[in-house]
């Protein structure tokens, strides 16, 4: 077993732990609440599973990107399950029912959507070899998503004292493992950083910005819902994409572009979060200013009145 295979095992363990913690955090009512809002559910799935992949395909058709970059972008475009920025969604006003409902729905749907999307996208003329078995991908996604999600929800229901420490402590450990794994994969394929070119970096930035804008527009009238869907549309969970790329595609640029996507996405998401917070704070600031300006000053008698 070489270093890259060990890193992939650590990466799978990090994914498993992340989903387990999510399952321990989500109440059953919140997990299924999004299905009771079919309009928002349809817009959410459209943004994440249709709009973002279509924008990716258009960019790949219009720009002369290297083959490995195309493979990496294809894998990222279908890796919608469990956005790693769900805490940021909550911080921007996303309701727990929508955030957890969206994460629960995409996690379960990943067992079907990831292998199906991979089969459809790689069958198109994208210079990517469609050699990955959908059944193998479905099995992998089922093990790292469905099993820990179900286990976490069982713990939450029948052993909440055990579930609460897992939901609080495990995400940090899983996040560190995920980051270490991605950096390890990047180190194993570091020469590809110089091969993908400036155009690939610009393409990723444009894709992230376009996904944020489209998710924001499709999120509906509630600011929290808009921010949640924007982040979910722009975010991609790199774990499964990196495992599929490293296990099935020999082109090292595919793995590199997945890690680079994470590096470029982080500051853009932070900038969007700041914009949302400033926009939400603006009406309160104007209201406070109006109150201050409209407050009558305390009456003070003039000198003549005082003498009289």
233/142: higher pLDDT: 233
- For the purposes of burial, counting CB atoms within 10 Å of the CB of 301, is it exposed (0-12), middle (13-18) or buried (19 or more)? exposed
pLDDT tens-digit profile of 54-96? Answer: 888 888 888 888 888 888 888 888 887 655 666 778 788 888 7
pLDDT tens-digit profile of 199-219? Answer: 999 999 999 999 999 999 999
pTM of the model: 0.79
d(CA 137, CA 199): 30
| H-run or E-run covering 11 | helix 3-25
End-to-end Cα separation, the chain, in angstroms? 100
pLDDT tens-digit profile of 25-37? Answer: 877 777 778 888 8
Could you say which architecture CATH assigns to the domain 3-273? Up-down Bundle (1.20)
- At 289 the pLDDT is 57
Do residues 4 and 181 make contact, with C-beta atoms less than 8 angstroms apart?
no
Q: What is the mean pLDDT of the chain?
A: 80
- At 216 the pLDDT is 94
Q: What are the percentages of helix, strand and coil residues in the chain, rounded to 5?
A: 80, 0, 20
Do residues 218 and 229 make contact, with C-beta atoms less than 8 angstroms apart?
yes
d(CA 204, CA 209): 9
d(CA 166, CA 174): 11
d(CA 72, CA 190): 15
Nearest alpha carbon to residue 48 among 91, 107, 129, 92: 107
Instruction: Kindly indicate the confidence band of residue 286, based on its pLDDT and cuts at 50, 70 and 90.
Output: low
Instruction: Kindly indicate the confidence band of residue 259, based on its pLDDT and cuts at 50, 70 and 90.
Output: confident
138: pLDDT strictly greater than 50: yes
Instruction: Kindly indicate the confidence band of residue 125, based on its pLDDT and cuts at 50, 70 and 90.
Output: low
Q: What is the mean pLDDT of residues 103-114?
A: 80
Q: What is the mean pLDDT of residues 268-274?
A: 92
Tokens of 294: 């409209």
Greatest mean pLDDT among 47-61, 207-221, 281-295: 207-221
Which residue ranges make up each domain of the chain?
3-273
106: pLDDT strictly greater than 90: no
Pick from 112-126, 180-194, 245-259, 278-292: least confident: 278-292
């Amino acid at each position: 077993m070489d270093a890259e295979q060990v890193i992939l095992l650590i990466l799978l363990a990090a994914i498993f732990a992340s989903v387990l913690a999510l399952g321990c955090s989500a109440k059953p009512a919140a997990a299924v609440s999004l299905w009771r809002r079919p309009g928002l559910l349809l817009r959410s799935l459209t943004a994440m599973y249709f709009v973002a992949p279509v924008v990716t395909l258009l960019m790949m058709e219009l720009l002369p990107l290297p083959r490995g970059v195309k493979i990496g972008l294809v894998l990222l475009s279908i890796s919608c399950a469990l956005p790693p920025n769900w805490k940021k969604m909550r911080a921007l006003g996303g309701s727990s029912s929508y955030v957890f409902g969206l994460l629960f729905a995409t996690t379960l749907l990943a067992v079907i959507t990831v292998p199906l999307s991979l089969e459809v996208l790689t069958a198109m003329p994208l210079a990517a070899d469609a050699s990955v078995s959908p059944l193998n991908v479905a099995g992998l996604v089922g093990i790292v998503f469905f099993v820990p999600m179900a286990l976490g929800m069982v713990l939450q229901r029948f052993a909440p004292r055990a579930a609460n420490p897992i939901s609080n402590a495990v995400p940090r450990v899983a996040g560190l493992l995920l980051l270490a794994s991605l950096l390890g994969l990047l180190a194993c394929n570091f020469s590809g950083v110089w091969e993908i070119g400036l155009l690939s970096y610009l393409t990723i930035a444009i894709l992230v910005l376009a996904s944020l804008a489209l998710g924001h527009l499709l999120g509906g009238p509630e600011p929290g819902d808009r921010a949640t869907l924007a982040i979910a549309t722009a975010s991609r969970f790199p774990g499964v994409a990196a495992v599929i790329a490293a296990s099935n595609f020999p082109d090292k640029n595919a793995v590199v572009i997945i890690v680079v996507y994470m590096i470029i996405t982080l500051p853009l998401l932070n900038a969007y979060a700041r914009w949302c917070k400033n926009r939400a704070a603006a009406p309160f600031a104007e209201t406070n200013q109006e109150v201050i300006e409209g407050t009558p000053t305390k009456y003070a008698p003039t000198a003549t009145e005082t003498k009289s």
